A and B are shown apart, each in its own frame.
Chain A
């Protein structure tokens, strides 16, 4: 699976949009981009995934560049409960479904 690079930490004001970037320049054609988050010491929580097109669900939006080498997770109106470590993971699902968690981005939402 392709390696991902994320900034170690980010701050966001409460109520503003949080934009979390991820680089995955070695991604291959059949690999999906997944985003998970871990709030404090809870289990990781699935947020969203995408292949080529931009995706939106009730939690977030995922913007994938045309060349698929990078993506941005957008939390449109960040709340204090969104403070967590966010993980960008690339996985093909073909033969091995293990998720490779890196260090992620620690997002702090500030009142």
Chain B
């Protein structure tokens, strides 16, 4: 595809449920980032991959958050035992060098 694709676009989860969010980066992009964006705020960094290696996960808010990119392409962000404070838009971006391109995001609502 031409851009970064994220699925699902919307997800409603009951508190305590596990969720998995998918990101298909632009083909050939080495770097992949996950961000969390709360309503009315700027994106906050969660984690960074270079190919399949997770080089920075300093932004993950708790051990309930886990990300992987096993073959250096598609990435999955998993949130276990979701809490209400996890409600946000989760953005994925990919880049080849300095320019990062974002997907449309997955809006997660925990009820």
Asked if A and B are interacting partners, one says no
Q: Interface of A with B (CB < 8 Å)?
A: none
Name B's A-contacting residues (CB within 8 A).
Answer: none
